[in-house]
Amino acid sequence: MAESWAGLGSAIASFLFLYAMVKDHIPFQLRQYFANFFHKVISFANPYQQITIHEYNGDYMRRDKLYAATQAYLSVACSYRARKLKAELGQESDKPLITFDDYEEVTDTFKGVKVWWYASKRVPNSKTISFYNEEERKYYLLTFHKRHRKLVEGEYLNHILREGRDVMTHRRQRKLFTNSPSRNWYGYKSSAWSHVAFEHPATFDTLAMDPKKKEEIIDDLVTFREGKEYYKKIGKAWKRGYLLYGPPGTGKSSMIAAIANFLEYDVYDLELTAVKTNTELRKIFIETTGKSIIVVEDIDCSLDLTGKRKEKKKEENENEKEKMLPGKDETDDNTKLTLSGLLNFIDGLWSACGGERIIIFTTNHLEKLDPALIRRGRMDMHIEMSYCTFEAFKVLTKNYIGVVEHNMFNTIRTLLCDVNMSPADVAEGLMLKKSRNKDVGACLENLIKVIEAAKEEAAKKKAEEELAAKENEELITDEESSVEKALDLENSNSEK
């Protein structure tokens, strides 16, 4: 076998030598014929195949998505094997991307099959004049044995795309959008949203709440994030609604930031009062992307949607289902933002565009919201953010002063049972001026003072309310007795 390969090798070498000698005396067509023939012989003898992934595809303008994903994938999976590396900062990223440098080769193994990656570039021919500003064209060359072609084409490239996209998601600078339109150079609206970098530091570790409830929320988020196939199977759009309700300062906004940081999603903070019509809401929605959280804070204050709906209910006395049909409120669909427009936004046909979206409403007054707006299926999970419990308090002390046990904890536990304190107030009570904030005892003493003051204040307020209620009751009784007296007088007069 070895002898026959050696024979073939020397035959090709002799052929090449002869060809070089006589090349210039052979007509062009014949030379072309030889070149093709030669290429076929080489391909036949070579058991390896190659796939090229160019940085820019056909139109030269758009960066190829597979190239970007490959670059991200290789930076994590294989770059550590290379000797020559390069670092670059992508447009959407805030962390440098380290990949292997041009003309380097690395290997990768997938399902036991070895493949080779080679990074290279095509330098432009300076003699050609082109409409485009010709730059170096980078590409990756993937080499594999031809018997693995099916695996590479079918599974390996998909694996690269998926993993690469994951890496890109983790690396990209996340954004906080607001629906005040951004304008381009000429002053025209370029997008319904403008954005800044999302940098809120809240995480589930810093969030003070019942650990069991926290765990439940995290589980729900993980199930959602990994549920693409499941949602497809059950025929539901890949989105989930959360309603956060509770008094001010109990961590609703912090929870949104923690969710965004946990899932690594962008946040679209939707200011409903700035949206004038249902059509505008739809346009705004279409401009959001997947892997995002759409937030409407203080939904009860955003619009008088509840009132409008209730008034209509009385006037028209229509049944609930009919009212929710898209187009039912069509008379004012294009001129107003209505509840049906908002319901459509949450779970109408449009809500499925893009996928992988979380919608979060927050409110201080759950009772003010229309049941249709927050029914399960629209707002899948209702999360109560409550006043500070002892468990939540321990999370705060851990984060703020670094302790989870102290002999003053029992006093604080009893006090917290007696008075409603928001985690924001407790956190404030734990913070002392810089010179004393390392003194754990002083911080806890200060907190005890703050809670006691709040307890006194609450007791005073309760007493005042009780007094006012009593006075009101007496006033009503007085009024009732004087009305009764007047009626008696009237009756006796009429009898006479």
Ligand X SMILES: Nc1ncnc2c1ncn2[C@@H]1O[C@H](COP(=O)(O)OP(=O)(O)OP(=O)(O)O)[C@@H](O)[C@H]1O
Residue 385 contact among ligand X, Mg ion, none, beta carbon within 5 to 8 Å by kind = ligand X
For residue 400, the tally of other CB atoms under 10 A from its CB is: 20
Please identify, among the stretches 129-137, 213-221, 245-253, 435-443, the one whose residues bind ligand X according to the rule CB under 6 A: 245-253
Q: Are the beta carbons of 200 and 261 closer than 8 angstroms?
A: yes
Task: Decide if residue 254 touches Mg ion (CB under 5 A).
Answer: no
How many Cβ atoms sit within 10 Å of the Cβ of residue 319?
Answer: 9
Cβ proximity to Mg ion: between 330 and 384 the closer is: 384
Neighbours of 237 (CB within 10 A): 18
Cα dihedral 289→292→297→301 (10° resolution): 30
Q: Which residue is nearest to Mg ion (CB)?
A: 253
- Measured CA to CA, the distance from residue 175 to residue 199 in angstroms comes to 8
Report the nearest approach of ligand X to the CB of residue 446 (Å): 17
Contact indicator for 66, 163 with CB cutoff of 8 Å: no
**Mask for 275-304, x = binds Mg ion (CB under 5 A):** ------------------------------
Is beta strand 113-122 parallel, antiparallel or unpaired with respect to 137-145? Answer: antiparallel
263 binds, among ligand X, Mg ion, none (CB under 5 to 8 A by kind): none
Nearer to ligand X, 117 or 400 (CB): 400
Give the C-alpha separation, 393 to 208, whole Å.
7
**Binders of ligand X: how many residues, by CB under 6 A?**
16
In angstroms, give the least distance from the CB of 253 to Mg ion.
3
Q: Tell me which of 7, 96, 154, 248 binds ligand X, using CB under 6 A.
A: 248
Q: Among 75, 253, 344, 389, which residue sits at the site for Mg ion (rule: CB under 5 A)?
A: 253
Is 424 among the residues that bind ligand X (CB under 6 A)?
A: yes
Say if residues 376 and 236 touch (Cβ distance below 8 Å). no
Instruction: State the Cα–Cα distance between residues 187 and 63, nearest whole angstrom.
Output: 27
Give the residues across from 178 on adjacent strands.
194, 269
User: Residue 401 has which token pair?
Assistant: 């002063």
Point out the residue whose Cβ comes nearest to ligand X.
251
Residues 201-240 within binding reach of ligand X (CB under 6 A): 206-209
Cβ distance to ligand X smaller for residue 168 or 221: 221
Cα–Cα distance for residue pair 260/359, rounded to 1 Å = 11
Least CB distance to ligand X at residue 208 (A): 3
Determine the size of the site formed for Mg ion (CB under 5 A): 2
Which residues contribute to the site for ligand X (CB under 6 A)? 206-209, 248-254, 364, 385, 423-424, 427
